[in-house]
Structure 1
Amino acid sequence: MVKTAYHNFGKGDKFKEMFANLFGDSVLVQDGEPFKQTNKSIALAFASPAFRNKTVTILSAAVHKKLIPLLSHAAANYIPLDLQDVFRRLAFDNTCMVGFGIDPASLDLDLTTVPFLDAFDGAIEALLLRAVLPRFCWKMMKFLRLGSEARLMSGRTVVYEFVDGLLARLSAAGYDLYDSPCLGAFWTYIRLERESGRDYSLEMIRSSMVSLIMAGKDTLSAALTFFFWLVAQHPEVEAKILAELQGILHKSAKKEEWTFGFEEVKQMDYLHAALSESLRLYPPIVAEGTEAAEDDVLPDGTQTEKGAQVWYSIYSCGRLESVWGEDCLEFRPERWLQNERFVRQSDFKFAVFNAGPRRCAGREFAYWHMKWAAASILIHYQIKMVDKHPVIPKFTIVLSMKDGLLVTIHPRNRDRV
Structure 2
Amino acid sequence: MAMVWYAAATSAALFCIIYFFHRRLSCRYPLYTDYPILGMLPEVLCNLWHIHDFSAEMLKSHGGTAEFIGPWFTNLNFLVTSDPLNVHHVLSKNFNNYIKGPEFREIFQAFGDGIFTTDAEAWKYNRDLFHSLFKHRSFEVFMEKTIRKTVQNSLLPILDHVQQQGRVVDLQDLFNRFTFDNICSIVLGYDSNCLSLDFPEVEIEKAFSQAEESIFYRHIKPKSLWKLQKWLQIGGERKMTEACKSFDQFIHALIASKLEALSKCNENETGEASADLLTTLMREGKEEHDARFLRDAMFNLFVAGRDAITSVLTWFFWLVATNPLVEAKILEEMKEKFGRNEGKAEVLSVEEVKKLVYLHGAICETLRLFPPVPFERKQALEADMLPSGHGVDPSTVLLISLYAMGRSEEIWGEDCMEFKPERWISEKGELSCPSGGRLRSYAKPFSCSSHEGWFQG
Q: TM-score, normalised by structure 1?
A: 0.77
Equivalence for 2:235 = 147
Distance in 2 (alpha carbons) for counterparts of 1:322 and 1:193: 47
AA in 1 matched with 2:318: W
- Partner residue of 1:348 out of 437, 442, 445: 442
Deviation string 1:72-103 (CA, Å, 9 cap, x unpaired) is 11112222211111111111111122222222
SS in structure 2 of the partner of residue 348 of structure 1: helix
C-alpha contact 1:9 1:290 (8 A) present in aligned 2: yes
Matched, 1:109 2:197: yes
Distance in 2 (alpha carbons) for counterparts of 1:296 and 1:19: 26
SS in structure 2 of the partner of residue 290 of structure 1: strand
Further displaced range: 328-337 or 122-131: 122-131
Equivalence for 2:307 = 218
Further displaced range: 314-323 or 179-188: 179-188
Equivalence for 1:231 = 320
C-alpha contact 1:294 1:307 (8 A) present in aligned 2: yes
Matched, 1:328 2:422: no
Equivalence for 1:206 = 295
User: Highest relative contact order (Cα 8 Å, sep 6+), 1 or 2?
Assistant: 1
SS in structure 2 of the partner of residue 209 of structure 1: helix
- Partner residue of 1:249 out of 338, 341, 346: 338
Distance in 2 (alpha carbons) for counterparts of 1:275 and 1:177: 42
| Structure with the higher helix share, 1 or 2 | 2
Identity %: 32
- Partner residue of 1:317 out of 405, 408, 419: 405
Matched, 1:130 2:218: yes
CA displacement at 1:348 relative to structure 2: 2.6
Closer, same or farther in 2 for the Cα pair 1:270/1:221, shift >3 Å?
same
Matched, 1:15 2:107: no
Closer, same or farther in 2 for the Cα pair 1:289/1:51, shift >3 Å?
same
Q: How many residues align?
A: 355
Matched, 1:94 2:182: yes
Deviation string 1:28-60 (CA, Å, 9 cap, x unpaired) is 101012101210111111112122111121121
C-alpha contact 2:321 2:327 (8 A) present in aligned 1: yes
Further displaced range: 267-276 or 300-309: 300-309
Further displaced range: 114-123 or 310-319: 114-123
Deviation string 1:94-131 (CA, Å, 9 cap, x unpaired) is 11222222221211121111122222222212122222
Closer, same or farther in 2 for the Cα pair 1:163/1:352, shift >3 Å?
farther
- Partner residue of 1:183 out of 266, 275, 293: 275
SS in structure 2 of the partner of residue 230 of structure 1: helix
Equivalence for 1:273 = 361
SS in structure 1 of the partner of residue 113 of structure 2: coil
C-alpha contact 2:226 2:237 (8 A) present in aligned 1: yes
Distance in 1 (alpha carbons) for counterparts of 2:387 and 2:156: 49
C-alpha contact 1:27 1:35 (8 A) present in aligned 2: yes
CA displacement at 1:208 relative to structure 2: 1.7
C-alpha contact 2:115 2:127 (8 A) present in aligned 1: yes
Closer, same or farther in 2 for the Cα pair 1:245/1:273, shift >3 Å?
same
Structure 1: which 5+ residue stretches go unaligned?
Answer: 363-417
CA displacement at 1:187 relative to structure 2: 4.0
CA displacement at 1:306 relative to structure 2: 1.6
Q: TM-score, normalised by structure 2?
A: 0.71
AA in 2 matched with 1:54: F
CA displacement at 1:186 relative to structure 2: 4.0
SS in structure 2 of the partner of residue 311 of structure 1: strand
C-alpha contact 1:285 1:352 (8 A) present in aligned 2: no
Structure 2: which 5+ residue stretches go unaligned?
Answer: 1-88, 435-439
Distance in 1 (alpha carbons) for counterparts of 2:240 and 2:117: 18
Distance in 2 (alpha carbons) for counterparts of 1:176 and 1:11: 41
SS in structure 2 of the partner of residue 331 of structure 1: coil
